[in-house]
Structure 1
Amino acid sequence: MRKEVFDYIQKKKTLQNFIREQPIWYRKLSRNPEILQDLELASMYHYKQTIPHKVQKFQDSVQMASMMVHMFHTMKNMD
């Protein structure tokens, strides 16, 4: 693996962990160091850090909060 690619990966903990979990990326980068951006994208999808994942997580949180408020209103009306 090229030194600059290795140094870049060493600076980012998530990429280090991703390569440990998916060792095929080490081989891919050794053969084709230009796919570093593909590695980052694959890592983001793996750790669910993309914008669609973040939006979904936010929607789930809002839905949970809404359900809790509805439940509290229902409990209050029963008294």
Structure 2
Amino acid sequence: MRREIQNYLAHRPDLLAFIRENPFWYRVLTRNPEKIYEIEEEAKIFYGRTFPQRIDRLKEQLDFVHMIFSLFQVMGNDNHS
């Protein structure tokens, strides 16, 4: 693997961890170092950092907060009966 790719990965621990979990990328980078940008995109998907994945997580969190709020309302209504 080229030295500049190794240096780049040394400064990007998230990509280095992704490549260690997916070792076939070592071969890809050795043969085609310009594919480092493809690895960045794959790592974003793997770690859930794409915009749609973030929106989905936010929606799940809002649904959870809504459920807890509804539960507190129901519990509050039961105490007043």
Counterpart Cα distance in 2 of 1:73 and 1:23: 51
Structure 1: 5+ residue runs without aligned partners?
A: none
Aligned residue-pair number: 79
After superposing on structure 2, the runs of 4+ consecutive aligned residues of structure 1 that deviate more than 6 Å are: none
Q: CA deviation at 1:68?
A: 0.4
Identity level (%): 33
Residue 23 in structure 1 maps to residue 23 in structure 2: yes
Structure 2: stretches of 5+ with no match in the other structure: none
1:50 corresponds to: 50
Cα RMSD (Å): 0.7
Q: 1-side partners of 2:52 and 2:7: how far apart?
A: 29
1:37 CA displacement: 0.4
TM-score normalised by length of structure 2: 0.93
